[in-house]
Structure 1
């Protein structure tokens, strides 16, 4: 892994001066899961919530006006001047633990907030930084404008590392088992976020040693890491930056892949706006590739069937037709149907449920055969209930809108963690929205100054 370091964190002052401080009103989820309503709810709790700075423009999937980013920078500077935020004099790492419930079961997930030497994506001697998903251009432009205006990395990137000897986990436990957290927050999803500031050189050295020669896999934050690369390149083009310049380091929360709380949830697809779509037309178009088995009952019944019989079989999807309220299990029948189109991709990539959905169902069936070659409309819900709400018009979903008319839901299983590792190490990228790591890291617990 690239070298990891403590950093001169910028934090809310009360998290530094008040032991056991509750900073719940001040933190936010990552920018890319928030809309205008969610921002307003956060600001109603506190006008000093980090969302004032981290989400100056909505939607963040596209570049906003320069005034929005200038206002965010002004707010950050004013909060530092007035003492709302403070910068630590000595560098620290933070042990960061999240306690949460997923699928009715309690979990804890623990990582280390630190900075990582910025290097290009890809394998490297001593460990590389490996992405697993494709990215969009708009969010990278938005994050770059915000980083340039504030000279601050406002939220950590979620990284994973193998930790097969459990050495990193042992270092984290040596902190969490011996003292209470220095500050905490509870977010709207019920997750408890706890953090321990770590400035002990010996413990930091043990952690750095535990990560030697390990790859880091980006779980969440591909756009933000690309932004860090671009920011460094722009600064380096104008200045001869010293080796320890803050812009050469990027803030991560690093979590062991052996942590039992490392949970991946599904990201389903809801498709619509297809002029030639019908249940029968879809069935005929998919017949060369899939065996379609009707599943009586509700959408929840389809979801349960997907996870029951043959649940580990690759190439197995649930398809729900909103007009008729019926579902089928689609089981891959054709041998490796993406091989001809993607001969350079590994079989493990070509049989991913998300790859089959994107490159076979959408790009080879829905768009050309059911929508005259035009792009379909998308939403990306994470739960069956969200799919139901989108179908009933109670929720639009990302990618939706007033003109979005849901026709088809593709119900997916979570992408396995081993698939993420294998695809990343093969230097391949999954389609966008292939993984949903739950819960999200909180923004506002600590920030990384780049000036």
Structure 2
């Protein structure tokens, strides 16, 4: 296998299972503080000892008993709730019908190997990967019952995010949650490379702590994450070249004003600018496909001159800043539709790299998993 290529990560087989673990939690004054990232830097083999030192000085709390946690956080006016537990990684899907966790973009094997080595040296999962699903009524009922009780932790962190955390430890509650989640199918919203690194560690040492990986499962119907686009900048490309590519690929290219181009932005229409002039690009997007797929599969390959680079930017401002010097063309993409992404992955396809932006994400340090803790036995 070409280690520089983009490949599809393995699929986990159902049932989807989150298992209890003994959470490490940074103190509220450290969560959201950029300096706290120092706990997870080189030499990675010293990370576990650093966290233990912080625990002795009250900067880290380590739960004495394992739990699954309900974590609610609020950032930028958006409140998100997710169940955080140790995801069972021990079963791979053979058929499409067995799949329980769905990646929506490919991964770089070299990056995966680096992350796996780093986690093995650190002996921690520093942050949960982010999974989203459409929660079953039974799952939502358990969450609603928890929300009627006082949280175990409630605080505003150093970066301004508000957090509430409930620990689920009761035998009956855990069994009910296990049963309720069994039929769930989840999409990876954030953490594709960490997910693949989890699987690599599991394959290298099955039967140990690597059989589990830290994950947060968010119900997109209850507290949805905002799903935004990631825009493209075609370095070295001109609007004339983009117009030529549009004609070759069956798209419609219309030079217009900035206001009109932005107003037309939609599921099959892009806005394009070189920093001076603007255009609207209407794509022929087949059913159950996304505009970003057509951009990478048809529009960009049809350019008469290959771009020097295809940049990816989460905000319009960042994308436009790259073309103010006339160094390329910014393509402003429409926000992807969550149901469309689900249909794409269910069909066995992946989106191009960096096609979606799920926001907001929780700050680092609220819930950490130590690989040195004994894994909880699976039923």
**Does structure 1 residue 321 correspond to structure 2 residue 274?**
yes
Q: Measure how far apart 1:81 and its partner are.
A: 5.6
Gaps of 5+ in 1: 15-22, 29-40, 44-48, 57-66, 337-346, 394-404
TM-score w.r.t. the length of structure 2 is 0.84
**Which one of 353, 360, 370 corresponds to residue 298 of structure 2?**
360
Matched, 1:295 2:256: yes
Q: Is 1:112–1:254's contact at 8 Å kept on the other side of the alignment?
A: yes
The answer to whether the 8 Å contact 2:274/2:324 transfers is no
2:79 maps to 108
Provide the aligned length of Structure 1 versus Structure 2: 356
Q: What are the equivalent positions in structure 2 for 1:173-212 lying under 5 Å apart? A: 173-180=144-151, 182-186=153-157, 188=159, 191-212=161-182
Whether contact under 8 Å (1:8, 1:87) holds in the other structure is: yes
Counterpart among 261, 264, 276 of residue 305 in structure 1:
264
Alignment match, 2:245 = 285
Structure 2 gaps, min length 5: 1-14, 373-379
Q: Alpha carbons of 1:144 and 1:185: their partners in 2 closer, same or farther (altered >3 Å)? A: farther
Provide the C-alpha distance between the structure 2 equivalents of 1:121 and 1:384, rounded to a whole number of angstroms. Answer: 39
Q: Does structure 2 conserve the Cα–Cα contact (< 8 Å) formed by 1:76 and 1:150?
A: no
- Name the CA shift for 1:202/1:108 in 2 (closer, same or farther; >3 Å): same
- Separation (CA, whole Å) in 2 of partners of 1:315 and 1:271: 19
Distance in 1 between residues matched to 2:256 and 2:215, nearest whole Å = 43
- Rounded to whole Å, the distance in 1 between the matches of 2:158 and 2:233 is 27
| SS across alignment from 2:187 | strand
**Whole-Å Cα distance in 2 between the matches of residues 79 and 100 of structure 1?**
26
Contact 1:321-1:407 at 8 Å conserved across structures: yes
8 Å CA contact 2:245, 2:299 repeated in 1: no
d(CA) in 1 for partners of 2:58 and 2:74?
Answer: 30
Q: Please give the alpha-carbon distance, in whole angstroms, between the structure 2 residues aligned to 1:72 and 1:449.
A: 10
Q: Which residue of 2 aligns with 1:398?
A: none
Contact (CA 8 Å) 1:182, 1:197: kept in 2 or not?
A: no
Aligned to 2:214: 251
What is the CA deviation profile of residues 396-444 of structure 1, one whole-angstrom value per residue up to 9, with x for unaligned ones? Answer: xxxxxxxxx7411111111111122112212221111011001013221
| Equivalence for 1:420 | 341
C-alpha deviation, 1:226, in angstroms: 0.5
Partner of 2:376: none
Residue 296 (structure 1) shift: 1.1
Q: Distance in 1 between matches of 2:274 and 2:57?
A: 56
Under a length normalisation based on structure 1, what TM-score does the superposition of the two structures give?
0.72
Q: Partner of 2:370 in structure 1?
A: 449
Name 1:75's counterpart in structure 2: 50
Q: Write the distance in 1 (CA, Å) between the matches of 2:215 and 2:57.
A: 27
Report how far residue 80 of structure 1 moved.
4.6
Whether 1:2 and 2:16 are equivalent positions in the alignment is yes
Distance 1:169 1:446 in 2: 21
Q: Which residue is 2:323 aligned to? A: 391
Pairwise CA RMSD of aligned residues? 2.6
Does residue 114 of structure 2 align to residue 142 of structure 1? yes
- Deviation of 1:446 after TM superposition, in Å, equals 1.2
SS in 2 for 1:437: strand
- Name the CA distance, whole Å, in 2 between partners of 1:415 and 1:440: 18
Contact 1:166/1:258 (<8 A) preserved: no
Distance in structure 1 (CA, Å) of the matches to 2:344 and 2:94? 12
Q: Deviations over 1:77-97 (max 9, x none)?
A: 543565543432211111111
Shift of 1:180: 4.1
Q: Which residue of 2 aligns with 1:128?
A: 100
